[in-house]
Chains A and B, each alone.
Chain A
Amino acid sequence: MPKFLLGRRQFTLGAAAAATAALIHPGETLAQTAGTLAELDQKTRNAMAKLTPQGRAEAEAKIANIFRKYGDRLSEEQKADIRRIMAETQEGLDKMRAFPLENSDQPADAFRAYRHEAAPEKTRGGKR
């Protein structure tokens, strides 16, 4: 089970979020969540407090952008979940950016010029 969403501390892939109150189905609320709105807001504040002013501003800008684009689809619980996760993941991004790299350190997926001698083959959907 991979570990996505910004590679947080959890082993669970995608469980980058340390919990929250998001809706699954009507009637399944607290049993599926890790905290009330107030608790989630407190976790968000705690995470934000650990960030530099620049990091905090970046996290807040990203949260605002998510809500600008998708806010009308989100419940208050989901918004609280997003605020907390974005605040908690910003610290990891700051750590990654602090890793010492030289200008000459190239990315792993280097571009290669392409040339195919044979006639192009018709590809089907889904094939690359």
Chain B
Amino acid sequence: MLSEEILFLSVTELSKRIRGKQLSPVELTESYLARSRDLGPKLNAYATLTRDLAMKQAHAAEAEIKAGKYRGPLHGIPYAAKDLLAVKGYPTTWGARPYVDQHFDYDATVIRKLESAGAVLLGKAAMIELAGGMGYRYASASATGAARNPWNTDCWTCGSSSGSAAITGAGLAAFAIGTETWGSIICPSGFCGLSGLRPTYGRVSRAGAMALSYTMDKIGPITRSADDCDLVLQAISGHDDGDLGSLPDASAKYNGVGEVKGKLRIGWLENQWKEVSPEVEKPTQAARQVLAKNSSVVMSKVSLPEGPWEIAAGVIISVEGAAAFSKLIQSGRVSELNDPLGQVGGYMNEELSASDFILAQRIRTVVQARMDEIFHKVDVLATPSLPVTATKVDANLDLALTFADPIGGIGNFCGLPAISVPCGFGDHGLPVSLQFIGRALDDDKVIQAARIFQAQTDWHKKRPKLQ
């Protein structure tokens, strides 16, 4: 069993050791599997461990690397994938009891791309049922129970990529794949002190992934550093005919953060959170100062445009979700979902009209243009990822997380890239995080901003004490 020192290393560090033959992919995989078996159930982190597949892939990686066939920085790196990505031979439950026996006879494109890169799939990460598509009011809205935060197991990880964050945060894998329709990568990364990237819409294929919102679903990595997000996005991006939302290859393919030309213009959002708790305000203001003092950064203040963006984004997700799960809703099997809101949410979503849906899509065009204007003045926007630290695992989320999230709504509505990175701790030792949001296809700039911050700080290297 490898030490925690090794298991909490970034992908970047692990891959250097694997390439240098100082670290065995087989030993690394066995150690993560053993840790996942021991700690995973305490955190409700996994839906399924794919042990046989993992060991097969790890042995293959080790043999290839020994033979001099090194595929790249993910070769021999163990990871977990949110349980809404199809993996042949294993259940894909979408986190929901009506689908616990669901199997697909193919792999999702993201799974295939990571296999081609030589990565090792350890298991399917637990998640909020249907990625929250029918609504949810409690962290227990999952077939596997509430995911627990590695920094304090009385607290939640956030969702819907709850298991992906628990796994990466607890050192059960080197990284995990999550998805975001609205907040499902940024919030779990924020609550668990991780570096999570929501790529530009259309950059990562969703073929073989559960559809919740056809025009808002995105797939991205939850990792331990911005550098790791950069590596994983390079592996999973690219055009795919299997996804109608996929960008042409020239746009979809991400080639990594290039050479930095000039200063990075960061706009601090003045009107994102109406209220930020003092325990979040202090570390995020300190982080702002770190950025302001950096000679490669120019800071300014920016305000988001006013408008019904969040309402319109909600209409889109609700209508697309009602269509995506119409059979489940009409069959009445939504009653098998864990969450009281999830049991009735679909019935209400069906009542939204087609004209309201089209109206929301027209408003979407307007806000896309207004946001693009802002990105002529700055390269990225910055703001606390969340105005609070992690909520209690049994909290009523209607009461605990009752704040507007304009940039979450706008960013997802417009398909903009964003990254969350840790920037300190609150009063009770829970992580506090900062997010950077960029122009469409400027994934490199949001990663660049995060790298600049992480080059000056070591919050991303902190790890929780787990028994």
Interface residues of A (CB under 8 A from B): 1-20, 22-24, 32-34, 62, 65-66, 69-70, 73-74, 78, 81-82, 85-86, 89, 92-93, 95-99, 101, 105-109, 123-128
Contacts and interface: CB of A to CB of B under 8 A. Distances in A.
Find the residue from B86, B347, B356 having the highest chain A CB count within 10 A.
B347
Most buried by B among A11, A62, A65: A11
A1 B226 CA distance: 21
Q: Which of the listed residues B335, B344, B361 has the most CB atoms from chain A within 10 Å of its own CB?
A: B344
Nearest to A22: B340
A13 B181 contact: yes
Contacts of B359: 96-97, 99, 101
Q: How large is the interface on B (under 10, 10 to 19, 20 to 34, 35 or more residues)?
A: 35 or more
B182 A17 contact: no
Contacts of B351: 62, 65-66, 86
B332 A73 contact: yes
Nearest to B207: A127
Contacts of B182: 1-4, 13
A7 B313 contact: yes
Nearest to A63: B351
A20 B409 CA distance: 24
A12 B364 contact: no
B421 to A, nearest CB: 19
Interface in B340-393: 340-345, 347-352, 356, 358-366, 368
Contacts of B405: 3, 11
Contact of A19 (B134, B317, B360, B398): B398
Contacts of B401: 1, 10-12, 15
Interface stretch (B39-47, B304-312, B425-433, B453-461): B304-312
10 shortest interchain CB distances as A-B pairs: A7-B314, A2-B182, A14-B135, A22-B340, A107-B361, A108-B364, A12-B397, A62-B351, A7-B311, A11-B401
B57 interface: no
B340 A24 contact: yes
13 contacts: A1-B183, A2-B180, A4-B132, A5-B341, A9-B402, A10-B402, A13-B132, A13-B184, A14-B341, A17-B137, A78-B343, A92-B314, A105-B362
A108 B368 contact: yes
Contacts of B104: 125-126
A121 to B, nearest CB: 8
B1 interface: no
Interface string B17-49: 000000000000000000000000000000000
Contacts of A11: 183, 401-405, 408
A119 to B, nearest CB: 13
B311 A85 contact: no
Given A19-B137, A32-B138, A73-B332, A107 B132 contact: no
Given A24-B340, A86-B351, A107-B362, 13 more contacts: A4-B349, A5-B349, A7-B310, A10-B401, A11-B183, A12-B397, A34-B396, A70-B347, A95-B308, A95-B311, A96-B356, A99-B363, A123-B242
Given A10-B398, A14-B136, A96 B311 contact: yes
A15 B341 contact: yes
Contacts of A95: 308, 311
B435 interface: no
Contacts of A19: 137, 396, 398-399
Nearest to A13: B132
Interface in B41-88: 86
Nearest to B367: A108
A126 B339 contact: no
A101 B159 contact: no
Contact of B312 (A7, A8, A70): A7
Given A16-B135, A96-B312, A108-B365, A74 B181 contact: no
A72 B142 CA distance: 26
B136 A15 contact: yes
Contact of A4 (B86, B158, B314): B314
B302 to A, nearest CB: 21
A1 B158 contact: yes
A63 B243 CA distance: 36
B187 interface: yes
A107 B354 CA distance: 12
B7 to A, nearest CB: 27
Given A4-B132, A9-B404, A18-B398, A82 B342 contact: no
